[in-house]
């Protein structure tokens, strides 16, 4: 589970601040990092005289996670005089970044390069890699600035707003705390709780929580208050951007693609009534009801909505962004149950904007590298309890993770199938993909685990980033025509095993290096907010050794792409998933399928009807036929000829709701 590490990094996205300092005297504050309730790291901040702040920050996420030592010097107005960070980033690449300001002259150097710039007026430098405390210093500076707005270097602007106050009690005492929002750094506001002295108290999200030591038992109360504020914003956005289809909708003069036949019919009218397709036919012949709303397609391409079969959806920007990109259904493969259930309820009630969500229950074994979950399974009794609970809550699939004991897999398969649930996952450590399939797994997540099946002599413990590094170093030498590969693909085909490649995540991981970013990002980079453009364009999303062996990692990535094409041609079903932000990255995933040799029309089928078939929804979703649910997208261009035209979605119909893609993109700060 990548959890969107491509953006500002989990240490910024998940908790924009820790330990707000006073300006006078020396003090030390400690905060705890928790991933889904499990202690994963810490930050220690020393506040020294003359505005100096020293920070140590680290957390462990399945062998990934930053370790940073930083020193900041803060001026009287809250902006930085200097900043320095050293250590490793989330993927363990080296960090050595420095910034200094003298009057209007600003100088910084990082893995993205070296820059000198003259800027008049207050401005705050935002590091490429930094501990959360830097964002706290930014909040302090913005609170002092006119309008609580602060210009940023290299570019952008941050704004801070007070949301509301709350009194919380714990064994460590009682505190009056205030919630602040910080906008301008990401696609949605981030939040931080400060006490009455404007010192850090907590930062909460569904995945990561950060809290002042001794106040862990206040997190549930804070989470509830913050969630209410986020719901308020989401409901206002839904009212503004959703057109409720309370009367028939006639989409006229469209070129209609049917994934069932792989054909395109010219000049068609599609009639939508109460969320379903009620009629399809030539525009010259089909009778449109007099009270119908008319959407003139003007010859544009109409097709079923896309599916992303590998997401970890949260609130905020995720839902609107998915629909903006034409994704009307997603499969969530690991999440916090309460948060996911509430989000689905809000979306289905029309109080939030988002795709339909299918749920897969996530579980792992106990180890130092366990995935972020509260559901741990080390024996049959725990397995039975977990699977029974997921089945009772409407989950359709079980996803297991890398620390599950190999000998427990057949039991998990038996228990899941007894409840009518599919079972998929990472291939557990010390187990081959062949053994996983022979134990009864229905699906494999991530194309690297297929490659690892043939690298078992090199790496068996795949709980750490070794599962990426070994593939990057050795996949280029795999002989895809070998008897071993052919026999394994035959096994997948005979067993009806599905593969969820998520090959696009390796596009960044195997190509990015300091100062050189993956060219596959070109179509979206310029559309993003400035801070995200900078991080993506820095090349910081790659594995540590890419810069040392760029040709080897490039060739290994190409071999993974070739393997995707070989799977399809061998009769193995693949499903389209991103393990990333659907609305931005699903087109790239599908472009790579075309690069693998799969014809665009077949790729469109995979991303619509094919995915619906896997989830047994193909009698209601994935085609443009009477009786089917009206999940439809209207596209400029023709993705049967150029798959990248899927980035040109114009309108999205999600059942009885109509959206304009451009408006959805703008609502999360992205240019259409």
pLDDT, tens only, 106-161 = 999 988 789 999 999 999 999 988 898 888 899 899 999 999 999 999 989 999 99
Decide if 656 contacts 274 (C-beta within 8 A).
yes
- Residue 442 forms part of a structural domain: no
Q: Which of 240, 257, 275 lies at the terminal end of a domain, its last residue?
A: 240
Domain boundary among 283, 301, 319: 301
105 class by beta-carbon count within 10 Å (0-12 exposed, 13-18 middle, 19+ buried): exposed
Residues 180 and 233 in one domain: yes
Please answer whether residues 133 and 18 qualify as being in contact, where contact means their C-beta atoms are separated by less than 8 angstroms: yes
- Flag whether 615 is in a domain: no
CA dihedral 515, 516, 517, 522 (to 10 degrees): 110
Same domain for 180 and 97, yes or no, is: yes
CB 217 within 8 A of CB 170: yes
Say whether 604 sits in a helix, a strand or coil: helix
Q: What confidence tier does 172 reach under pLDDT thresholds 50, 70, 90?
A: confident
pLDDT tens-digit profile of 482-498?
999 999 999 999 999 99
Alpha carbon distance 75, 170 (integer Å): 35
Regarding whether 233 and 132 lie in a shared domain, the answer is yes
Residues 219 and 271 in one domain: no
Q: Is residue 667 part of a domain?
A: no
One-character DSSP codes across 347-394 = HHTTSS---EEEEEEEEB--STT--S-S-B--SHHHHHHHHHHHHHTT
Cis omega (within 30 of 0) on the bond before 154?
A: yes
At 149 the three-state DSSP class reads strand
127 and 256 both lie in a single domain: no
Whether residue 312 is predicted with pLDDT greater than 90 in this model: the reply is yes
Q: What is the pLDDT of residue 6?
A: 31
Stretch 580-600: mean pLDDT, rounded?
97
pLDDT for position 514: 79
Q: Is 526 part of any domain?
A: no
| pLDDT at residue number 11 | 32
pLDDT at residue 302 above 60? Answer: yes
> Is residue 443 situated within a structural domain?
no
542: left (phi over 0), alpha (psi -120 to 50) or beta: beta
Residue 665's pLDDT band, with cuts at 50, 70 and 90, is: very high
Say what the pTM is. Answer: 0.91
Shared domain check, 226 and 268 = no
CA 441-446-447 angle, to 5 degrees, is: 105
Q: Is the pLDDT of residue 9 over 60?
A: no
Least confident of 6-10, 137-141, 272-276: 6-10
Q: What is the model's pLDDT at position 525?
A: 86
Beta strand ranges found along 197-324 (DSSP E): 200-204, 208-212, 243-244, 249-258, 263-273, 276-282, 293-296, 301-304, 306-311
Residues 55 and 15 in one domain: yes
Q: What is the per-residue pLDDT for 494?
A: 98
* pLDDT band at 15; cut points 50, 70, 90: very low
CA 70 distance to own-chain centroid: 28
Q: Which residue, 215, 240, 265, sits at the end of a domain?
A: 240
Task: Note whether residue 88 is domain-resident.
Answer: yes
* 316 vs 601 pLDDT, higher one: 601
Whether 579 is in a domain gets the answer: no
Burial of residue 25 (CB within 10 Å: 0-12, 13-18, 19+) is exposed
Residue 635 pLDDT > 60:
yes
Same domain, 74 and 124: yes
- For the segment 267-284, the average pLDDT, to the nearest whole number, is 98
Instruction: Quote the domain boundaries for residue 181.
Output: 10-240
Q: Is the pLDDT of residue 291 over 80?
A: yes
Q: Are 515 and 111 in contact (CB under 8 A)?
A: yes
Same domain, yes or no, for 200 and 125? yes
| Dihedral sign computed on CA atoms, order 383, 384, 389, 393 | positive
Contact call for residues 628 and 258 (beta carbons, < 8 A): no
Q: Render pLDDT for 47-86 as a digit per residue (tens, 0 to 9).
A: 999 899 999 999 999 888 999 999 999 999 999 999 999 9
- Which range (161-170, 508-517, 632-641) has the least confidence? 508-517
pLDDT 10s digits, 361-377? 999 999 999 988 999 99
**In the predicted model, what is the mean pLDDT of residues 608-635?**
98
Token pair of 644 as six digits? 């990248």
Of the pLDDT bands very low, low, confident and very high (cuts 50, 70, 90), residue 26 is low
DSSP 79: -
Is 263 part of a structural domain of the chain?
yes
- 227 plus 273 within the same structural domain: no
Decide: 558 and 592 in contact? Cβ < 8 Å. Answer: no
Nearest Cα to Cα of residue 256 among 280, 288, 292, 287: 280
* Backbone phi and psi for residue 564, each to the nearest 5 degrees, phi listed first: -60, -45
Count of domains in the chain?
A: 2
Query: Of the ranges 89-93, 272-276, 564-568, 652-656, which one carries the lowest mean pLDDT score?
Result: 89-93
d(CA 4, CA 125): 23
Q: Which has the minimum average pLDDT: 124-128, 326-330, 643-647? A: 124-128
Residue-averaged pLDDT of the chain: 92
364-423 pLDDT, tens digit per residue, is 999 999 988 999 999 999 999 999 999 999 999 999 999 999 999 999 999 999 999 999
Task: Write the CB contacts of 604 (distance below 8 Å, at least 6 apart in sequence).
Answer: 257, 259, 303, 590, 639, 640, 643
Q: Answer whether 297's CB lies under 8 Å from 251's CB.
A: yes
For residues 51 and 195, membership in a common domain is answered with yes
Residue % of the chain over a pLDDT of 90? 78
Q: Are residues 129 and 211 in the same domain?
A: yes
CATH number at residue 294: 2.30.40.10
> What per-residue confidence (pLDDT) applies to 533?
84
The whole-number average pLDDT for the span 522-538 is 84
């Amino acid at each position: 589970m990548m959890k969107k590490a491509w953006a500002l990094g989990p240490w910024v996205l998940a908790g924009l601040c820790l330990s707000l300092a006073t300006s006078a005297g020396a003090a030390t504050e400690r905060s705890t990092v928790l991933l889904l309730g499990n202690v994963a790291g810490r930050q220690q901040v020393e506040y020294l005289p003359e505005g100096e702040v020293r920070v140590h920050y680290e957390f462990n996420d399945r062998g990934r996670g930053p370790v940073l030592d930083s020193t900041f010097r803060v001026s009287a107005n809250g902006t930085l005089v200097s900043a320095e960070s050293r250590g490793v980033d989330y993927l363990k690449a080296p960090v050595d970044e420095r910034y200094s300001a003298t009057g209007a002259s600003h100088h910084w150097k990082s893995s993205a390069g070296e820059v000198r710039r003259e800027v008049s007026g207050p401005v705050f430098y935002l590091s490429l890699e930094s501990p959360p405390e830097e964002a706290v210093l930014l909040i302090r500076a913005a609170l002092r600035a006119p309008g609580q707005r602060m210009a940023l270097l290299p570019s952008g602007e941050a704004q801070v707003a007070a949301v509301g106050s709350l009194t919380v009690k714990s064994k460590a005492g009682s505190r009056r705390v205030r919630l602040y929002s910080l906008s301008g750094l990401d696609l949605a506001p981030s939040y931080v709780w400060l006490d009455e002295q404007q010192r850090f108290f907590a930062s909460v999200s569904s995945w990561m929580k950060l809290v002042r030591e001794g106040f862990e038992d206040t997190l549930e109360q804070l989470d509830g208050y913050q969630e209410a504020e986020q719901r308020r914003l989401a409901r206002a956005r839904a009212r503004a951007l959703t057109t409720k289809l309370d009367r028939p909708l006639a989409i006229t003069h469209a070129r209609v693609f049917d994934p069932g036949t792989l054909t395109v019919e010219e000049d068609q009218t599609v009639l939508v009534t109460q969320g379903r397709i009620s009629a399809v036919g030539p525009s010259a012949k089909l009778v449109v009801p007099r009270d119908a709303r008319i959407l003139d397609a003007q010859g544009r391409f109409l097709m079923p909505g896309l599916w992303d079969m590998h997401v970890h959806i949260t609130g905020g920007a995720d839902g609107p962004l998915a629909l903006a990109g034409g994704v009307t259904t997603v499969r969530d493969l690991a999440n916090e149950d309460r948060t996911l259930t509430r989000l689905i309820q809000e979306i289905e009630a029309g109080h939030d904007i988002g795709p339909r969500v299918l749920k897969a229950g996530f579980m792992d074994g106990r180890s130092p590298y366990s995935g972020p979950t509260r559901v741990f399974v080390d024996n049959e009794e725990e397995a039975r309890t977990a699977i029974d609970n997921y089945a009772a809550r409407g989950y359709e699939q079980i996803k297991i993770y890398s620390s599950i004991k190999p000998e427990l897999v057949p039991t998990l398969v038996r228990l899941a199938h007894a409840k009518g649930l599919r079972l998929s996952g990472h291939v557990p450590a010390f187990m081959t993909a062949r053994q996983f399939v022979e134990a009864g797994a229905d699906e494999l997540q991530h194309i690297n685990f297929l490659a690892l099946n043939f690298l078992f002599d090199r790496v068996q413990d795949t709980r750490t980033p070794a599962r990426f590094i070994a593939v990057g170093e050795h996949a280029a030498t795999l002989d895809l025509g070998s008897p071993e590969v052919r026999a394994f693909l035959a096994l997948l085909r005979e067993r009806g095993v599905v593969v969820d490649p998520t090959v696009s995540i390796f596009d960044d991981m195997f190509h990015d290096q300091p100062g050189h970013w993956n060219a596959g990002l070109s179509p979206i980079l310029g559309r993003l907010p400035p801070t995200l453009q900078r991080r993506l364009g820095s090349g910081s999303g790659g594995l540590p050794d890419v810069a040392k062996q760029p040709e080897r990692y490039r060739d290994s990535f190409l071999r993974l792409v070739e393997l995707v094409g070989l799977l399809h041609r061998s009769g193995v079903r693949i499903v389209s998933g991103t393990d990333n932000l659907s609305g931005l990255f699903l087109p790239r995933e599908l472009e790579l399928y075309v690069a693998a040799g799969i014809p665009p029309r077949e790729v469109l089928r995979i991303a619509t009807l094919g995915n619906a078939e896997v989830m047994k929804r193909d009698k209601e979703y994935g085609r443009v036929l009477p009786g089917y649910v009206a999940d439809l997208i209207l596209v400029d261009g023709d993705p049967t000829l150029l798959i990248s035209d899927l980035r040109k979605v114009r309108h999205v119909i999600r059942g009885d709701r109509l959206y304009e893609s451009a408006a959805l993109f703008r609502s999360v700060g992205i240019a259409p």
